[in-house]
Amino acid sequence: MPEQEDNIDKIIFKLNQSEEYWNNTVGNLASKLTCGVKEVVVLQAEIISIRQELTEQIKKMSYEIFKIVSKIKVLKKQNFEWYSTKYQIPLNSSEKAKLIEWDLYHSDHQKSILDNHVEFLRDTLKNIDNLNFAVKNKITLYQLTSLE
């Protein structure tokens, strides 16, 4: 059990670093919105590139969640069979369910942590999309005022 706790602590540390990176990235992009006419297209390209990087990270995290969900399903089946046939004390279905829930606590916890991180990444993606809209609006404004 301590090994699983250490694993979860490592995951949380890594995800906190990721959140810090994305918060800094969005802040950096937002501060560049005051750029001039010549830099706005470069900013738009940077935003599109960063958006793609974020999309890739969301995909990667979603795959990790899928692997954990598959693992949980297999473990539930194995644990149910074990508690039904090999456990020393006869159990009713609610007792089995509680024991299985406890046995799978760490995997469920890990999945919840990753789900929360994916939600954070999706919110960050919305922020980046809003920054992209701001840049598009700025380009349109420059075009309408002939400041190209």
The number of domains in the chain is 1
- Residue 147 banded pLDDT, cuts 50, 70, 90: low
Token readout for 67 is 């692997």
pLDDT surpasses 60 at 117: yes
| Contact residues for 86 (Cβ-Cβ < 8 A; gap 6+) | none
| Contact residues for 53 (Cβ-Cβ < 8 A; gap 6+) | none
Identify whether 21 is part of a domain.
no
Identify whether 19 is part of a domain.
no
Identify whether 31 is part of a domain.
no
Identify whether 34 is part of a domain.
no
Identify whether 65 is part of a domain.
yes
Identify whether 14 is part of a domain.
no
In terms of residue numbers, what domain contains 46?
39-144
Tens of pLDDT, residues 72-86: 999 999 999 999 998
Instruction: Give residue 100's Cα distance to chain centre.
Output: 27
Identify whether 53 is part of a domain.
yes
Residue 148, SS3 per DSSP: coil
Identify whether 129 is part of a domain.
yes
Tens of pLDDT, residues 31-53: 999 988 889 999 999 999 999 99
Query: How far apart are the C-alpha atoms of 15 and 119, rounded to whole Å?
Result: 12
